[in-house]
Amino acid sequence: MPTTYLEAIREGLWEEMERDPDVFLIGEDIGVYGGAFKVTAGFIEHFGARRVVDTPISESGIVGAAIGAGLMGLRPVAEMQFADFISCGFDQIVNFAAKCRYRWNAAVPMVVRAPSGGGIHGGPFHSQNPEMWFVKTPGLKVICPATAYDAKGLIKSAVRDNDPVIFFEHKALYRRIKEDLPAEEFTVPIGKARVARQGRDLSIITYGAMVWVALEAAETLAAEGIEVEVIDLRTLLPLDRDTVCESVKKTAKVLLLHEDTRTAGMAGELAITITETVFEHLDAPIVRVTAPDTPVPFSPPLEEAFLPNAAKVIEKARWLHRY
């Protein structure tokens, strides 16, 4: 039976809690209520209130408690009910947790789960993609899975990692993406991209929900004789620059795609990486498709206009192919 993206995360957390008694969950409404999106439904009944900790509405408190628990040898998984609210715990994440390894070689084996992204008509305070706040912070790992397989494999790897991990889960994928998962245990390595689709004419580099937009666009373009290679970054920090550059060397044309807003988004880091490393292989300018530099609209028609989609990608890809 196919497993949803949501259920994949749930399975990964359950398996890690069964495997290691030091793993525990902490967050708002994660216990008795089962989580805002029901990822942790049934956990408190099975693991008990000592390992599934309901908290007050205080993200700074959640993050602070998780950091302290990590320093004492536990493995906390802290949930931000929406990724936007992670800003309330920002100082403790970037100025303390991220720097403990560098300052005094202290492990902070903490995962912060951050349901992110638009497409659910959540408005400007429940729909952001704040990954770049953390990608530029040394000491953190930042994960953005696109598939159920990767969501499960990477949450398990994140729990086992000895340093702080920010785990972005795209809300629009929770119940929309399904696939058959292996019965046996598996993990996915942090910091390794995957080739989601082989192609020869141009590369689309992306991550998270936009992987599915890229694949949709690629199918349409294939009918026109344009074969697109799609690279799913999976992890933004550390970034798998080798896989990105190998794809660009293969196709010589590249389109960068992300749901985050345009200025200082991941596309900028990717563009300079490609320019510095494989510029001589490029046959066209690097182009990008992103959200505009505005808050996420609440109005469904405005949100649709705001978000990147296959039509926008196809238009840019056709131009790039003709160049």
Please report which residue ranges of the chain form alpha helices under DSSP H: 5-19, 43-47, 59-71, 90-95, 100-104, 132-135, 148-160, 210-222, 241-251, 266-278, 300-306, 310-322
CA atoms within 13 A on the CB side of 79: 28
Active-site residue identified among 121, 126, 170, 258: 126
Find out whether 290 and 264 touch, Cβ atoms under 8 Å: no
d(CA 168, CA 17): 20
Please say whether the beta carbons of 87 and 58 come within 8 A: no
* Residue 321 is among the residues annotated as catalytic for this protein: no
Nearest to 75 by CA among 6, 157, 187, 138: 157
Q: What is the DSSP letter of 122?
A: -
Residue 297 main-chain phi, psi, to 5 deg: -70, 150
What is the strand order of the sheet 111-116 is part of? 52-54, 23-27, 75-79, 111-116, 165-170, 141-143, 235-237
Amino acid at 189: P
Would you please indicate which residues are annotated as catalytic (active-site) residues?
Answer: 126
